[in-house]
Amino acid sequence: VLFRSAAADDAVDALIAEASQSRLAYEIVESLTTEVGPRLAGTEAEARARDWAVAELTRLGFDDVRVEEYTMPVWERGPLEVEILSPYPQRLVATALGGSASTPAGGVEGELAYFASFADLQAAPASGLEGKIVYVDDSMTRTQTGEGYGPAVAKRGSAWSEAQERGAVAVIIRSVGTDSHRVPHTGGMRFTDTRPGIAAVAVSAPDADQLRRIAARGETMRVRVASTTSWRDEGVSGNVIAEVRGREAPDEIVLIGAHLDSWDLGTGAIDDGSGVAIVVAAAKLIADMPQPPRRTVRVVLFGAEEVGIFGAKAYATAHEDELSDHIIAAESDFGADRIWRLRSRVGSGALDEMDALAMTVAGLGVVRGGNGAGGAPDVTPLAEAGVPILEPDQNGWDYFDLHHTPDDTFDKIDPEALAQNVAVYAALIYQIANGDVDFRAEAVAEDE
């Protein structure tokens, strides 16, 4: 097996030891969240994040630091008011969902139509909600893997269209999150060409509980939503790319990425400043090895992930001709907690190599998962193009307490957990880049 030898094992052990006590990732995410802060896709703040990234990657000595720009539609939020008018008048803590329409001046008022679940809304008759404001409850399930997010995102993504089709004038959802704090969770809505025509907002969990309790009393509620948002058609965004040039096979690319944009409410510390810090620090530690790896390690800091993976799509298009030389791709985009499992999507002929690779990080608390990984959002276009995927899974137990809220800030990051991520990435990526395993290989049937 190519990448296994006593000398290679010693090099990996030394790299793990170095990464485990490195503060580099912690310093990087501190710098990004402090000096740039929130960085919504397509805004001047995201452009400042690109400038920050170019300066940081250049300072760290990476090869060929560059920005690849693309244009995209840009949505921004303005002032928002959500309130119960009757029977118990009070303001609610809420945030507009990405893509939400503005309400007419002064807002919209209407009777609240309560749906316990998104499935109930989908099953509602085609009419009967005219002039009403729809509320969709549904709590998200907390899990280590984050699998409660899928069903919750279906609600966030499409409650607007189900409500709008039935004549509703606005839609309110319980925030997609697992916390019990008075912070709302924003996030993108699902649409292609036709933008949402009504306002769509998420209320915090305690405010959602309030609506649930009033609804349970059987009382008719009237609510008001006043939201101002805006669209700009031709915004500029971009991917920031840097490399550790391979010494023998520089055209063979081992890609590690994260996304540079964030939602605008917090400072994007766990989503995805931590991912940026993890992959940049891991690549820097590899660059500082006594000898560069055989293959090129390419760091891609994707733009505009949150609003529809515009950066990932632009990357896959711009690099279409060299995707067959992409050996494997991984993205860190699930917070800052420890990695506990390694999944993959590689050819059957490379499974033994992948299992052996996983064993080299077992001492960091990582177990081998299955070979059905889809990859984090920004590598999905690469996976669809046949690029093998490496997916180190972080513990997501607490991730959705903070995700897309004003509370996604630097103080939530544990430097030791962050360093464990760097150690896992550095060890795995170094071995892949320093070897010559073809992760697309399919097993060859043995002759009888």
Positions that interact with Zn ion (CB under 5 A): 271-272, 333
Nearest CA to 340 among 143, 178, 152?
143
- The smaller minimum CB distance to Zn ion, of residues 26 and 399, is found at 399
Cα separation, 182 vs 112, whole angstroms: 21
- By C-beta, is 56 or 272 nearer to Zn ion? 272
CA distance 336 to 275: 7
137 vs 331, beta carbon nearer Zn ion = 331
Closest CA to 342 of 328, 329, 355: 355
DSSP β-bridge partners for residue 225:
82, 108
**Which residue's CB is nearer to Zn ion, number 166 or number 259?**
259
Minimum distance from residue 104 beta carbon to Zn ion (Å): 33
Cβ 49 to Zn ion shortest distance, Å: 14
Q: How far is the CB of 97 from Zn ion (least distance, A)?
A: 16
Nearest approach, Cβ of residue 283 and Zn ion (Å): 19
Q: Indicate the residue type of 376.
A: A
Residue 333 or 393 with smaller CB distance to Zn ion: 333
* Residue 169 contacts residue 130 (beta carbons within 8 Å): no
Shortest distance in whole angstroms from residue 32 CB to Zn ion: 14
Choose between 166 and 343: whose C-beta lies nearer to Zn ion. 343
Cβ neighbours of residue 51 closer than 8 Å, sequence gap 6 or more:
none
Determine if the peptide bond prior to 89 is cis (ω within 30°).
no
Comparison of 252 and 261: residue with beta carbon closer to Zn ion? 261
Report the nearest approach of Zn ion to the CB of residue 193 (Å): 25
Indicate the residue among 12 and 258 with the shorter CB distance to Zn ion: 258
Q: Is-contact 95 156, C-beta < 8 A?
A: no
Task: Report in angstroms how near the CB of residue 348 gets to Zn ion at its nearest.
Answer: 31
> Which C-beta is closer to Zn ion: that of 82 or that of 304?
304
Work out how close the CB of 149 gets to Zn ion at its nearest, in angstroms, rounded to a whole number: 11
In the bound complex, what is the minimum distance in angstroms from residue 306's beta carbon to Zn ion?
Answer: 6
Report d(CA 263, CA 38) in Å as an integer. 7
Q: What is the largest CA-CA distance in the chain?
A: 79
**Contacts of residue 156, Cβ cutoff 8 Å, sequence gap at least 6:** 97, 173, 176, 187, 188, 189, 202
Q: How far is the CB of 59 from Zn ion (least distance, A)?
A: 25
Q: Which of 302, 253, 385, 261 is nearest to 68 (CA)?
A: 302
The closest of 442, 423, 443, 441 to 24, measured between CA atoms, is 423
- The secondary structure of 52-96 as a DSSP string is HHHHHHHHTT-EEEEEEEEEEEEEEEEEEEEEEEESS-EEE-EEE
- Burial class of residue 197 in the structure, from the number of CB atoms within 10 Å of its CB (0-12 exposed, 13-18 middle, 19+ buried): exposed
CB closer to Zn ion out of 179 and 271: 271
**Could you tell me the CA-to-CA distances from 51 to 58, 239, 294, 300, 309 in Å, in that order?**
11, 11, 30, 14, 20
